[in-house]
Amino acid sequence: MRLNITILYAAVIAALLWLPSCSKPSADEVLPPDITGEWKLASAGSLDGSVIVKGGEAVEISVYISFTKDGNFELYQRLDELHFRRYAGTWQLDGNILSGLYDGKKSSPWACSYAVSLADDGQTLVMDMNGSKMTADATAGQDGGTAQKEKSLRYNRTTIPESVRNEAVPAGSPF
């Protein structure tokens, strides 16, 4: 009889220890969105993805970004010029806060971090500024631009065209 009671107590304790491990995340926990994949800029605040204001002028742009599962990114941008420029580096997601570093000798950080979320069943990536003024180099690489932009960027999930990848020039090249 004493053996049965000991087994019963052991079973109850094991069940009590097991139950919390099967619980779902609480509403307070922020699960990071899965941003891996390829994206194209659709809009920057009130502007559509094909123009920004730089120096008071409307400038035609095109921006693609790829986030890989191993924490690398590739950014392809064309800002009122013939060629796309390619930037690369690493990214990190802490909860829903996205930050990154550009490759290069200085391994410089992005100009700001972003609060990210997914919309439209994961087909739209929304990147909101996280506390500082966004300049052209905050979203468009390290080109030294200073045109202030809207604080919310929307990217649509897509495949980066091979022509963009093949024709892109490295960041900092004279083209």
Q: What are phi and psi of 26, to 5 degrees?
A: -75, 165
Q: Does domain 37-170 have CATH number 2.60.40?
A: no
From the list 157, 144, 116, the residue with the least C-alpha distance to 33 is: 116
Angstrom distance (rounded) from CA 55 to CA 80: 13
Residues in the chain: 175
Place of tokens 């921006």: 63
Contacts of 98 (CB under 8 A, 6+ apart): 35, 91, 92, 113, 114, 115, 116, 127
Pairing of strands 152-157, 51-54: unpaired
pTM of the predicted model as reported, rounded to 2 decimal places = 0.69
pLDDT at 73: 97
pLDDT of residue 38: 98
The pLDDT tens digits of the residues spanning 96-111 come to 999 999 997 677 899 8
Q: What is the mean pLDDT of residues 22-40?
A: 73
Res. 130 pLDDT band, cuts 50 70 90? low
What was the pLDDT predicted at 80? Answer: 74
Among 5-9, 61-65, 146-150, the range with the most confident prediction by mean pLDDT is 61-65
The pair phi, psi for residue 122, each rounded to 5°, is 85, 5
Measured in whole angstroms, how far is the alpha carbon of residue 3 from the centre of its chain? 58
Q: Find how far residue 58's CA is from the centre of its chain.
A: 25
Q: What is the mean pLDDT of the chain?
A: 76
The whole-number average pLDDT for the span 29-37 is 84
